[in-house]
Amino acid sequence: TATHEEAFVELKRRLTNTPILACPDFSEQFVLQVDASQIGLGATLSQKRKGKEVVIAYASRLLTDGEKKFTVTEQECLALVWAVKKFRPYIEGYHFLAITDHQALQWLMKIQQPTGRLARWILELQQHDFSVQYRKGALNRVADALSRNPPERTDQTTENDEVSDHSLKVFVIESSEKESNSNCGDYLPTSWYDNLIHKVKKNP
């Protein structure tokens, strides 16, 4: 109904604005929660600060017709690979925790002689430093909800869409203007991202 749609839009607005969303703090570990459903993929990027979980970003997308034919394990692995690509500018070069409600992913990096798309995905994931933690589906609610309510595919939708280094810098600048209790610039690392910051300043 119109009332339900209005309530859902308002909920999304509140979930994607301060104080729900936080600036990334590169001195703290990133947590990537992922999930796949029969129709889509969902993920959240968060951190724990002072014992409280804060969300950096949300993401979801529809599965393609071909991806809907994948096995459950392949779809869950795809969710992890897609989320890692999506949030690469945040997690690259840092150890992060990946949380999934699919137990098989705990042994993903230990599979002997993987073949096909799993082998290709494992090679992609080996570029990153992370550990996988299993969490029951009932406790992985946000990523689960995102996977079951992905946005409609558009002409601009790309399967490998990711947060760009440029967007990451812009996000930090915009957030610092909105958040009165923190200076997002304080969260930027002083060494690893210096080169990226220089590129953005040179080509805004």
Q: Among 135, 115, 134, 131, which Cα is nearest to 123's?
A: 115
pTM above 0.85, yes or no: no
pLDDT in tens, 147-164: 998 887 655 445 545 554
Judge contact between 64 and 22, C-beta under 8 A. no
Confidence of residue 172 (pLDDT cuts 50, 70, 90): very low
CB atoms within 10 A of CB 60: 23
In b/e form, how buried is each residue of 28-38, taking b as 16+ CB within 10 angstroms? Answer: eebbbbbbbbe
23-159 has which fold? Nucleotidyltransferase; domain 5 (3.30.420)
Tell me the domain boundaries of the chain: 23-159, 164-204
CB atoms within 10 A of CB 19: 11
- Residue 21 dihedral angles phi and psi, to the nearest 5°: -80, 140
* Model confidence at 165: pLDDT above 80: no
CB atoms within 10 A of CB 45: 22
pLDDT in tens, 76-130: 999 999 999 999 999 998 999 999 999 988 888 888 888 889 999 999 999 999 9
